[in-house]
Structure 1
Amino acid sequence: MHYAIISETWPPEVNGVALTVRALAGGLEARGHRVTVVRPRQSRNQVAPLGTRLVGSLPLPRYPGLRMGRPAGAMLRRAWGLERPDAVYVATEGPLGNSALDAARALGIPVATGLHTRFDHYMGAYGAGLLRGVALAWMRHFHNRGQATLVPTRELQEELAALGFRQVRRLARAVDTAQFRPSHRDRDLRAGWNAGPDDPVLLHVGRLAPEKNLALAIRAHRAVRARLPGARMVLVGDGPLRDALARRHPDLVFAGTRRGADLARHYASADLFVFPSLTETFGNVTLEAMASGLPVVAHATGAAGEHVADGRNGVTVPPGAEDAFVSACVHLATEAELRRAMGVAARRATGGLDPAAVAADFDRLLQSLALEAGHGSRSFA
């Protein structure tokens, strides 16, 4: 089969969408399919890797370092007219994604879309709450032009269906349990954080931006330190709030962006993962933390709602229950044996989240769309 994947973001950009889409593309290739990736050019002299089409790009407002693709409908219609994909996956709703969706529809190519970001929820975090309805209407219009909208949780599948999104299908997420594992714990790294062997380290991994609700994580850390003065908090990631947070909270450890084995060491060297965001469609970092042997404290939504068993491998609280969130962090930080037992259970819970299995499900879904449209051949192995 020949699949085309369109995404406005791609590694080395560090975000959940980029990493998820790259993993899906790699999984399809590992299954023997031809995959053409269409994405924005990230630097002026960038050379397109084999199997990739680069298009012009523009800076993404409020996200320094990220770029969105320019519309490329004419180019895609020409390219797909010569080499027609069996199915198209549009991962992002930007100008490039919208033009790709239009091109696929014009040529009668089956197309699935991915809903990775709740832009309607972001509106409030950026002082534009009155535009939530407009954002939701645009998202619904965009995704309903495809044959399927892929989401990572049953909760989101049901919510979007109730909001008028059609053909919403769940595609689970996976985690690389070989990369993220407790054995990467590093005493020297902890020493660099001024954390002793028995000092609990609270970890947050993600963009330092308004939509991440970081004030709640910091409030939880303050409550923990009131009980355990040696406790530390490490923030992995970068973003527009970093400078202001660093000035206001000089005792926090700002680790910046981390990748690969270095990121895995940061996870495994902490003791408790705190994730206060209320805007995630999923939150891959939750699974990465669990695979690294960390119990999770989070709101009962996204990945936490799907994979954290409350009281067994972490604690989930109702969305917006800030006092309960803080209390859970204090409880786990002060109960070392319970925290370690939950960490073992968290690691165990990720054992079946195999990237190859997710790629197979993605393959089957795209093939089913191709067959419904009369394209492609049956090979659901």
Structure 2
Amino acid sequence: MTAPTASPATASPAPVSPGPLAGLRIALFSGNYNYVRDGANQALNRLVGYLLRQGAAVRVYAPTVAEPAFAPTGDLVGVPSFAIPGRAEYRVPLGLFGRVKRDLAAFAPTVVHVSSPDPAAHRAVSWARSRRLPVLASVHTRFETYPRYYNLAFMEPPLEALLRRFYRRCDALVAPSESMAQVLREQRMNYDIDIWSRGVDREIFHPGRRDLAWRRGLGLADDEVVIGFFSRLVMEKGLDVFSDAIDELARRGVKHRVLVVGDGPARDWFAGRLPEAVFTGFLGGADLARAVASMDVLFFPSVTETFGNVTLEAMACGLPVVVSEATGSESLVDDRRSGRLIRPGAIRQFADALQAYVADGALRSAHGAAGEARSRDFSWDRINQTVADTYLRLIRQRAARG
């Protein structure tokens, strides 16, 4: 278990100018704010940066480690946590104890934001409700789908029930896509759900990042069609489906290459399944954008995404995308115009879609251009303002109820 670390129990420094969100004080609880890099915590750090620039005060409560993946945005207070057995890179925050709880009380938030259904978040919800403070929960992943990737599918119904209890104690939810919001409504998680979409940094991700010389350095010829995958390498990202579909292409004699960008506990398994693939390991920022733009098509069969940051970044780089017909992807991809939406687990259909792109350069170009145009709709500042607006609405509603 890690001991909590905390800054002095004071408010964040006042901004130079008041800003439109002055007076808004957000206590944000995260299970992973910066110790392992992923799409969810990148979105949270961007949100905190935006809120601070607008004059809000933000305090983040999350597990901390000696060597985090990146520096946190804003004030981070460490909470006690333990490593998940079998997945030691991730930690479970235990709750609100001692100086962490005193720090929270001294900060005196006007709204509490919880971003993962862990023990600390449960305690934070109870703490807020006892003080009649509004609580917003952001949904970043389909936790209830994880057991199926570890031969524990029987755990899905009770896990869904636990999630329902957690989310229904919150005043509202924000989901990253309308398709995910609809899933949450159907699961009866909550009925006050706003959309907090995701953005893409178009100064980094764009077609101009394509670099054939870089590809050649990896042994990928200019005339080879490269099917790409980039994400954290864990089984819940659909690595088994990806591998099976690539095997099907090989059986059909479809010439292609595979480029995998990322790292994680399943890397050895994935490399063993795809011995001819090129693995770059983890890349970030401009290096990641260069790798993505240097692919020819993205294949990302995960069904656990609530939005699809990977898909959006690939689209911004001008790639056609082959993805599962699942929450998140359905809100991004226009089937047969900017990519293909395929029934989850349908190996032959995934292979059919990939084969069509491998065989037809004009089709790749047309669908890639359509996806790149669609990606221009996602501005981070506009997207993050929707969360700020939700905070303010919940505060007004709470005040009106007295």
Report the TM-score when normalising by structure 1: 0.92
1:157 corresponds to which residue?
A: 181
1:259 to 266, 274, 284: 284
Q: Distance in 1 between matches of 2:177 and 2:81?
A: 31
Q: Distance in 2 between matches of 1:206 and 1:331?
A: 24
2:271 to 215, 231, 246: 246
SS of alignment partner, residue 357 of structure 1: helix
1:31 to 54, 78, 86: 54
Q: What 5-or-longer segments of structure 2 have no aligned partner? A: 1-23
Contact 2:244–2:347, Cα closer than 8 Å, also in 1:
no
Tell me whether 1:11 sits opposite 2:43 in the alignment: no
- C-alpha displacement at 1:18, in angstroms? 1.3
2:219 corresponds to which residue?
A: 194
Tell me whether 1:64 sits opposite 2:93 in the alignment: no
- C-alpha displacement at 1:89, in angstroms? 0.8
Tell me whether 1:140 sits opposite 2:164 in the alignment: yes
SS of alignment partner, residue 352 of structure 1: coil
2:13 corresponds to which residue?
A: none
Question: Given the superposition, is the C-alpha separation of residues 74 and 366 from structure 1 closer, same or farther in structure 2, using an over 3 Å criterion?
Answer: farther
Contact 2:232–2:264, Cα closer than 8 Å, also in 1:
yes
Q: Distance in 2 between matches of 1:234 and 1:5?
A: 37
The alignment covers a number of residue pairs equal to: 374
Give deviations 1:185-213, integer Å, cap 9, x for gaps.
11232113321112111111122222222
2:331 corresponds to which residue?
A: 306
Q: State the one-letter code of the partner of 1:145.
A: R
SS of alignment partner, residue 89 of structure 2: coil
1:379 corresponds to which residue?
A: none
Give deviations 1:174-233, integer Å, cap 9, x for gaps.
11121111111112321133211121111111222222221222233344455443x211
Q: Distance in 2 between matches of 1:5 and 1:142?
A: 16
Structure 1 residues 17-96: aligned runs within 5 Å = 17-43=40-66, 51-72=75-96, 75-96=99-120
Contact 2:58–2:74, Cα closer than 8 Å, also in 1:
no
Contact 2:194–2:390, Cα closer than 8 Å, also in 1:
no
Give deviations 1:12-38, integer Å, cap 9, x for gaps.
522121111111111212222121111
Q: Distance in 2 between matches of 1:208 and 1:47?
A: 22
Greater alpha carbon shift after TM alignment, 115-124 vs 260-269: 115-124
SS of alignment partner, residue 274 of structure 1: strand
Q: State the one-letter code of the partner of 2:275.
A: P
- C-alpha displacement at 1:75, in angstroms? 4.3
SS of alignment partner, residue 64 of structure 1: strand
1:336 corresponds to which residue?
A: 361
Greater alpha carbon shift after TM alignment, 44-53 vs 302-311: 44-53
- C-alpha displacement at 1:313, in angstroms? 0.9
Tell me whether 1:351 sits opposite 2:390 in the alignment: no
Question: Given the superposition, is the C-alpha separation of residues 44 and 171 from structure 1 closer, same or farther in structure 2, using an over 3 Å criterion?
Answer: closer
Contact 1:220–1:330, Cα closer than 8 Å, also in 2:
no
- C-alpha displacement at 1:8, in angstroms? 1.1
Contact 1:273–1:296, Cα closer than 8 Å, also in 2:
yes
Q: Distance in 1 between matches of 2:304 and 2:242?
A: 15
2:309 corresponds to which residue?
A: 284
Moved over 3 A (4+): 44-50, 73-77, 222-229
Contact 1:56–1:69, Cα closer than 8 Å, also in 2:
yes
Contact 2:27–2:104, Cα closer than 8 Å, also in 1:
no
Q: What 5-or-longer segments of structure 1 have no aligned partner? A: 376-381
Contact 1:268–1:292, Cα closer than 8 Å, also in 2:
yes
- C-alpha displacement at 1:246, in angstroms? 1.9
2:237 corresponds to which residue?
A: 212
Greater alpha carbon shift after TM alignment, 41-50 vs 99-108: 41-50
1:378 corresponds to which residue?
A: none
Q: Distance in 2 between matches of 1:298 and 1:247?
A: 23
Greater alpha carbon shift after TM alignment, 344-353 vs 90-99: 90-99
- C-alpha displacement at 1:139, in angstroms? 0.4
Report the TM-score when normalising by structure 2: 0.87
Identical residues among aligned pairs (%): 30
Question: Given the superposition, is the C-alpha separation of residues 175 and 302 from structure 1 closer, same or farther in structure 2, using an over 3 Å criterion?
Answer: farther
Q: State the one-letter code of the partner of 1:2.
A: R
